[in-house]
Amino acid sequence: MPRHAKPLTVRGIEGLKAPEKSDILKADGGGLYFRVTPTGGRSWVFRYAIGDKRRDMGLGPYPDVGLSEARDKAAELRRQKRDGIDPLAAKAGRRAAAAKAMTFKQCAEAYIEAHKAGWRNAKHGAQWTATLETYAYPTFGKLPVADIDTALVMTVLRPIWTAKPETASRVRGRIESIIGWATVSGYRQGDNPARWRGHLDALLPQKTKVRAVEHHAALPYAEIGKFMAGLRAQEGAAAKALEFAILTAARTGEVIGATWQEIDWEGRTWTIPPERMKAHREHRVPLSTAALAILKALPKGGPGDRVFPLSNMALLMTLRRMERGDLTAHGFRSTFRDWAAERTAFPSEVAEMALAHVVGDKVEAAYRRGDLFEKRRQLAEAWSRFCAQPAAGGGDNVRPLRA
């Protein structure tokens, strides 16, 4: 385009249209062009040459970048070229510098933001942030993600690998995921220093070999009657929620998240939706007479209101008030399972389904379409009767149900 090309005007820009199969370029002078595509796209281009090679550099879309701003940008690029600077190479250098300056913490925050929509609940994202703030950020949170190496990862993991193997394993996995995201995003290159197989497994023992797996503290089933009597003497919604959790053998999160619309009064059933289940499958819970009585005594809310509007720590705090800090709410699921195995003749799959565990292999699961609901209802009633006995150590009135 000749240097004496007539400068563009705003009115002239607005009236431009491209042919059906090709772009058009209108010159403003000094290497600045206005591009219009057949689909209606409009943008600015700075065209220049380095030796015998022509280069086009985008300056932004129109009208986000107006005519005056585009001319200012083109003028600055012409000054760079006069000083012997290749504008495109300089832009690439600035991007590389910005990528190198991206810290691990910034990458972690971006990773969490990008993935949180796919996580089951906000608590999961909070756990990521909490573990990273506790263990990773103090060591390399402010460092460029491109500079993180195996030595830095080991500085984080080595102190906690044997003391807190479960936590350490999660921290390692989260660091690996974040560094993997940073690599794909162009903020670093090379191997992932937090990967386990073929790398850290040569420096650290397997988590399962560090020490025996610690199970949730559970109450012996022979003591459940005495415990329940003490629990029923406690005041407040948290005590009722814990009692309901024990009677239904449900997880804390399932109980705390229960809403009134999940309760079928006529069918005496509590249906937990997939998004609140560990296995991501809907789970029906038969409500025993005792469990139903707890719900009937509570103040009713709207369909979407929570039955027990409590925090996740409420049940644990109830145990501490009872001076039973040696127990966990989750441990009562083990109490229930031990009782079902040792004091009843219900088939094991009935108890496992009551706990919402996956029963059998994939082939067996494919043939077992039902959830043994009626048998589970009988099991729930037997469990509630056993829990109601003042001293369950002696002979109880649970009658084994023969298959």
Per-residue pLDDT at 25: 84
What is the pairing mode between strands 53-61 and 42-50?
A: antiparallel
The structure tokens listed for 111 are 């990773």
282, 373 contact by CB (below 8 A): no
How many of the other CB atoms lie within 10 Å of CB of 229? 14
249, 336 contact by CB (below 8 A): yes
- Which of 132-136, 206-210, 318-322 is predicted with the least confidence, judged by mean pLDDT? 206-210
Q: What is the mean pLDDT of the chain?
A: 85
What is the crossing angle of helices 122-131 and 165-184, to 10°?
A: 100
How many of the other CB atoms lie within 10 Å of CB of 363? 8
Q: How much of the chain exceeds pLDDT 90, in percent?
A: 52
Q: What is the model's pTM?
A: 0.51
Given a cut of 90, whether residue 333 has pLDDT beyond it is yes
Nearest to 372 by CA among 396, 357, 347, 350: 350
Average pLDDT over residues 167-190: 92
pLDDT, tens digit (0-9, with 9 covering 90-100), for 80-136: 888 888 888 777 766 665 556 789 999 999 999 998 888 877 777 888 998 999 999
Which DSSP symbol is given to 50? E
Question: Coil, strand or helix: which one is 259?
Answer: strand
Which DSSP symbol is given to 209? H
Calculate the CA 207 to chain-centre distance.
22
Higher pLDDT: 315 or 207? It is 315
pLDDT, tens digit (0-9, with 9 covering 90-100), for 183-203: 998 888 899 999 999 999 999
Query: Which of the given ranges, 56-60, 155-159, 291-295, has the highest pLDDT on average?
Result: 291-295
